[in-house]
Amino acid sequence: MERETFRRYGHQVVDWVADYLEDVERYPVLSPVVPGEVQKQLPREPPVTGEPMDKILADFRDIIVPGVTHWNHPRFFAYFPANNSGPSILGELLSAALGINAMVWQTCPAATELEELVMDWLRQMLGLPERFRGVIQDTASTGTLCALVCARERVTGFRVNAHGFAAGTEGGTLRVYTSQEGHSSVEKDAKIAGFGAENVVRVEVDEAYAMDPRDLEQRIVADQRTGLRPCCIVATVGTTSSTAIDPLTPIASVAERYGLWLHVDAALAGSAAILPEKRWILQGIEGVDSFVFNPHKWLFTNFDCSAYFTRDPETLIRALSVLPEYLKTDLDRHVTNYRDWGIQLGRRFRALKLWFVLRSYGVQGLQQRLREHIALAEEFRTWVEASEHFELLAPVPLNTICFRFHPRAEAEDELSDEKLDQLNKALLDEVNASGRIYITHTRLGGRFTLRFCVGQTQTRREHVIEGWECIRNARVVRARIESGDKGHDGC
Ligand SMILES: *Cc1c(COP(=O)(O)O)cnc(C)c1O
């Protein structure tokens, strides 16, 4: 591409991005395409000769964009957010332009030094202990995998790395403990790291869906008695279903008593620790070996950007470093070479977008946005609680409300859980098909549960109000009860 052509299309693309961010509300949140619809509009064979950029961009607008579910939409209340922001997009663009590979210090000194710096900024913002050192990973799944490998190697004296799993674990089968609400990545990582899915022990939760530390200890003791070898605890701060907060202080004392590695998965909720009034979620963090959270979820930084911290970088580096001749440099003793801090060798310049975000918002700006989200979630919770036809299904410590429709018509007998599951599934499908909002579900205590998570960059009070209106005026709801806004029928 000629330089002038690049400049012309570059301006066009940036204009498109600015318009998109301004107009994103006009799109249906959830893409309405059916399976195969995107591919069927595209040729099966690659183009033999180059095509003009005008045509490529037109297809992007006409074929790709309709197949996009808009995570940037202010009425996206599904899953957990993957939010971004203007400064982050600009940082990502510059990182793409530089196209560097930050595998060792020398291959891009600025990338390594900025990464060390912004990770220490985050450490200070979250109130993590001073000895914690950070590295940016792609996702929390990868961070937890690194933690499991560290745990495995520390407990076996680095014997699995040296001799493989069979010979390295002769002292007994290694066990990993997480709560019944722990994320699926724990099981996936346990498979990849060689533990095996059946050696992930699911610890009981209390009525708030947080890990019960007494049950944790009992299971560890029971395993020891039968010759199994407790290795790692993965606690969750902000579970994916309901943002339950596992109590780190008692869990850390169990970890210490039995010599286990303690990893904390705070993928979404970690960001909330920048608020002094929410710091309690990390109480006990000094007893934790590793900790991961995703600025790409709730800190306005483009996917992907996951912050992994450890108080024991020596174990991480020893577990993961392999140093062939072609990667040695004269400076190795004086600098950080992040290739030894994670799985892959090549590394993106993710620190750049994070630096743009932290500088552009400032700590106070970030705190203000998070407080706004939390206050809106609080307000939504009060609407659910005030409605006699909806019920809350879990506490709301942060930005996510778990609830369900539970009509209490006089004439009707109490509905069974099975019937309520069906009704709520129908409600979910109806509101999502409307394109106005997007919410998702989970199961809590066996019950089909609707989740409403407030965390998008552009979400304001009017969007949350519209979300609630859409839910309580859905046809599924109106067919059962007489309340709701008379002017509306359907979401
Ligand atoms: C989202 C989430 C994950 C997975 O995050 P990735 O970065 O996509 O791997 C893990 N744990 C919890 C608690 C999550 O909410």
Name which of 72-81, 241-250, 387-396, 472-481 the model is least confident about: 472-481
Centroid of chain to Cα 260? 25
Measured from the CB, is residue 183 less than 6 Å from ligand 1? yes
What is the average pLDDT across 140-165? 97
**Cβ 103 vs Cβ 340: under 8 Å:** no
Residue 485 pLDDT > 60, yes or no? no
Q: Cα(310)–Cα(150) distance, rounded to whole angstroms?
A: 10
> Residue 483 — pLDDT band, cuts 50, 70, 90?
low
Structural domain includes residue 303: yes
Segment (H or E) for 380: helix 351-386
Q: What is the pLDDT of residues 280-332, one digit of tens each?
A: 999 999 999 999 999 999 999 999 999 999 999 999 999 998 888 877 788 88
> Cα-flanking dihedrals φ and ψ of residue 321, to 5°?
-90, 135
For the CA of 183, the closest atom of ligand 1 is 11
Would residue 91 count as lying in a domain?
A: no
Contact 231, 261 (CB under 8 A): yes
Q: How far is the CA of 137 from the centre of ligand 1 (A)?
A: 12
| pLDDT value at 343 more than 80 | yes
Inside any domain, residue 354: no
Q: What is the CATH number of the domain that holds 454?
A: 3.90.1150.170
Query: How much is the pLDDT for 328?
Result: 79
Do 178 and 324 share a domain, yes or no? Answer: yes
Asked if 248 and 284 count as a contact pair (C-beta separation under 8 A), the reply is yes
464 C-alpha to center of ligand 1: Å? 24
Same domain, 55 and 9: no
251 alpha carbon to ligand 1 midpoint, in Å? 20
Single residue among 289, 314, 348 that ends a domain in this structure = 348
The string of pLDDT tens digits covering residues 216-257 is 999 999 999 999 999 999 999 999 999 999 999 999 999 999
Quick one: pLDDT at residue 239? 98
Binned at pLDDT 50, 70 and 90, residue 409 comes out as low
Span from the CA of 445 to the centroid of ligand 1 (angstroms): 21
Q: Which residue's alpha carbon is at the smallest distance from atom 15 of ligand 1? A: 240
Structure confidence at residue 411 as a pLDDT band (50, 70, 90): low
The pLDDT tens digits of the residues spanning 198-212 come to 999 999 999 999 999
Could you say which of 290, 313, 348 is where a domain stops?
348
> What does the alpha-carbon distance between residue 310 and residue 263 come to, in Å, rounded to a whole number?
9
Question: pLDDT value at position 171?
Answer: 85
Confidence of residue 488 (pLDDT cuts 50, 70, 90): low
Same-domain check for residues 382 and 321: no
Nearest C-alpha neighbor of 442 from the set 455, 454, 428, 456: 428
Q: Which atom of ligand 1 is nearest to the CA of 185?
A: 10
Number of domains observed in the structure of the chain: 3
Residue pair 193/174 in contact (Cβ under 8 Å)? The answer is no
Residue 94 belongs to a domain: no
Residue 405 reports pLDDT greater than 90: yes
Q: What residue has token string 């979401």?
A: 491
Task: For residues 489 and 416, state if they share a domain.
Answer: yes
DSSP helix/strand/coil, 410: coil
Per-residue DSSP letter, 61:
I
CATH code for the domain in which residue 334 is found: 3.40.640.10
Between 179 and 409, residue with greater pLDDT? 179
- Check if 273 has its Cβ closer than 6 Å to any atom of ligand 1: no
Residue 309: HSE in the Cβ half-sphere, 13 Å Cα cutoff: 30
Give the confidence band of 414 by pLDDT, cuts at 50, 70, 90: confident
Q: Is residue 115 part of a domain?
A: yes
Question: Which atom of ligand 1 is nearest the CA belonging to 240?
Answer: 15
Report which protein residue has its CA nearest ligand 1's atom 12.
267
User: Which pLDDT band, with edges at 50, 70 and 90, does 133 fall under?
Assistant: very high
Q: Are residues 40 and 125 in the same domain?
A: no
Examine the pLDDT at 148 and tell me if it is beyond 90: yes
Q: Is there a single domain that holds both residue 323 and residue 192?
A: yes
Check pLDDT > 60 for residue 484. Answer: no
Q: pLDDT digits over 3-19, tens only?
A: 999 999 999 999 999 99
Is 191 within the bounds of a domain?
yes
pLDDT, position 412: 61
Q: Is residue 141 within 6 Å of ligand 1 at its C-beta?
A: yes
Paired tokens of 194: 């060689």
Same-domain check for residues 156 and 77: no
Q: Which residue range is the domain that position 56 belongs to? A: 33-67
Same structural domain for residues 383 and 466?
yes
H or E element in which residue 213 lies? helix 213-225
pLDDT of residue 120: 98
Q: Are residues 180 and 274 in the same domain?
A: yes
* Contacts within 8 Å (CB) and 24+ apart, 376-380: 376/454, 376/459, 376/461, 376/464, 377/401, 377/452, 377/453, 377/454, 379/461, 379/464, 380/452, 380/454, 380/464, 380/467, 380/468
Q: Do 304 and 453 fall into the same domain?
A: no
Q: What is the pLDDT of residues 421-458, one digit of tens each?
A: 999 999 999 999 999 999 999 999 999 999 999 999 99
- Does the residue 392 lie in any domain? yes
- pLDDT at position 322 is 86
Identify whether 480 is part of a domain. Answer: yes
73: closest CA among 460, 428, 470? 460
SS3 content of the chain, % helix, strand, coil (to 5): 50, 15, 40
Q: Which of 318, 348, 378 is the last residue of a domain?
A: 348
379 plus 269 within the same structural domain: no
49-76: average pLDDT:
97
| Residues 77 and 49 occupy one common structural domain | no
CA 69 to centroid of ligand 1, rounded, Å:
19
Write out pLDDT tens, residues 385-400: 999 999 999 999 999 9
| pTM check: above 0.85 | yes
Res 333: pLDDT = 83
User: Average pLDDT, stretch 192-201?
Assistant: 97
Q: From the CB of 442, is ligand 1 less than 6 Å away?
A: no
Q: pLDDT value at position 481?
A: 82
